[in-house]
Structures are given as structure tokens and as C-alpha cells.
Amino acid sequence: MRPFFVATLFVTLCSLFSAGPAQAHKVNIFAYVEGDTGYTESYFPDGKPVEGGTIEVLGPAGNKLLEGKTDQEGLFSFPLPAKDDLTIVINASMGHKSKFLLKKSDR
């Protein structure tokens, strides 16, 4: 119990001191399709972009189709791999993770 508490406190303190205030907030992702390209935008609640976050594009069975990194504006785009429902996952530092379901019917 005690080592766990200390570890938790350590992680909490690390995130307090090493990350900017925005990283105390949740990571969000929004995705849409134009033509044959999927566009993603990753951001904190105040609009600050998530830089260098890992984006994973998953197929209907949860299989990874492709992966990439967000740019300085929190953007990442990719050629659409399949005419299926896609789950797009943003994985930022410190285990901040969020996902967006891009439905086949939305395209």
C-alpha cells in the first residue's frame, strides 16, 4: 500500500513540475474525412495542440492499420486505408490517451 502511494505521489509531482499547466488536462482528438484523406486534430481543453503525440488508426477488429505522430499544430492526416469504421487513438505523454470513432456512415 505504502510503496504504491509513494509511486503515485511521485508520478503526480512529476506531472506537476515537468509538464505545463495544459497537460494537467485531458487530451482530446477530433477526426473527419475529406476525399480520400483522414484528418485528425489533437488538443488540450484550452486549445493548445498536442505535439508529437502518437496516433494509431485501428480497424473494426481493433487491428492497427497505421501509425504516425502529430505535428506542432497537433495535426496528423493519413490516406484512408479502408472503407470501414475506424477508431483513431491519440497517445500523448504521461499516459494521456483518447479516441475518436470515425464511422463509415459519416463519410
Backbone angles phi, psi at 21, to 5 degrees: -60, -30
**Interatomic CA distance for residues 14 and 11, integer angstroms:** 5
Contacts of 62 (CB under 8 A, 6+ apart): 87
Q: Site for other proteins (CB under 8 A): which residue of 23, 41, 92, 96?
A: 41
Q: By C-beta, is 99 or 104 nearer to other proteins?
A: 99
**Interatomic CA distance for residues 5 and 85, integer angstroms:** 40
Residues 41 and 28 sit within 8 Å (Cβ to Cβ): no
Q: Locate 96 and state its grid cell.
A: 494521456
Q: Site for other proteins (CB under 8 A): which residue of 23, 29, 76, 86?
A: 29
- Minimum distance from CB of 44 to other proteins (Å)? 9
The DSSP bridge partners found for residue 40 are 31, 76
- Minimum distance from CB of 28 to other proteins (Å)? 3
Q: By C-beta, is 47 or 62 nearer to other proteins?
A: 47
- Minimum distance from CB of 66 to other proteins (Å)? 19
46 sits near other proteins (criterion: CB under 8 A): yes
Interface positions with other proteins (CB under 8 A): 26, 28-30, 32, 41, 43, 45-47, 98-101
